[in-house]
Every structure is written in C-alpha cells, then in structure tokens.
C-alpha cells in the first residue's frame, strides 16, 4: 500500500490554473487520489511503464483528469508521468487550410471528436 499525501499548495495552484472551485478538493480526495494510488500500486506490481488511456465527450474533464493525475503521481508517488491529448497531434489551422486548398476541403476541419 502506497502512502497517500497531498500538498494543498500544489492543489490550490492547480485549482486556480484550471479555474476550478474549492469544492473540487472533495473530488480530489474521493476520486483522484484513490485512482492515483491504484495506478501507483499497479505500476509497482507491474515493474514496467504503463500506458493509460481514457475517452469521453468534449468537456467531460479528460484533460483535467490527465493533468491532475500526472501531478499527483509525480508529487505523491514519485512516478514520472506525461499526459498527451489527441489535440497535441493535430496540424495547426494554417496547415489544415493549406491542405484544404491543395488537396481536399475536408482537410480544413480536425474531424469528429
């Protein structure tokens, strides 16, 4: 069992950065920290890197979850973690417009969520 700790200063900075209410700390205690602990325990048992995927509709909190888990895993459990989003792999709007003009108009959009 991994010891759970929380650095309130870090969490308050996270809330401020992500425009979250102070009441979000209840969700951190109830859901996010236990999930981070389970991931840390699974990582220790697996003795290898883990790839964790998630999906959800737009605005459902995927990026917030990934950012907070990354922070909790690093600060509370000493694990290196990185969060990647499909948005990180899209071409810029300018590049999509160029492809749309040169190849096909559908290249203008990023596609369905």
Each domain of the chain, given as residue ranges in start order, spans 8-82, 88-113
Whole-angstrom distance, CA of residue 102 vs CA of residue 107: 9
Instruction: Write down the pLDDT at residue 89.
Output: 82
Whole-angstrom distance, CA of residue 95 vs CA of residue 13: 35
Tokens of 59: 């605005």
Instruction: Write down the pLDDT at residue 33.
Output: 94
- This prediction has a pTM of 0.75
Average pLDDT estimate for 6-14: 83
Whole-angstrom distance, CA of residue 51 vs CA of residue 92: 26
Instruction: Write down the pLDDT at residue 91.
Output: 87
Instruction: Write down the pLDDT at residue 57.
Output: 87
Instruction: Write down the pLDDT at residue 62.
Output: 92
């Amino acid at each position: 069992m991994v010891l759970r700790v929380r650095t309130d200063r870090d969490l308050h900075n996270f809330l401020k950065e992500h425009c979250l209410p102070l009441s979000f700390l209840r969700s951190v205690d109830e859901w996010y920290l236990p999930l981070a602990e389970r991931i840390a325990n699974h990582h220790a048992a697996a003795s290898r890197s883990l790839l964790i995927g998630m999906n959800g509709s737009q605005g459902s909190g995927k990026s917030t979850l990934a950012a907070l888990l990354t922070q909790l895993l690093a600060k509370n459990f000493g694990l290196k973690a990185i969060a990647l989003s499909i948005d990180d792999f899209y071409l810029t709007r300018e590049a999509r417009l160029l492809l749309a003009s040169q190849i096909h108009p559908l290249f203008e959009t990023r596609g369905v969520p």
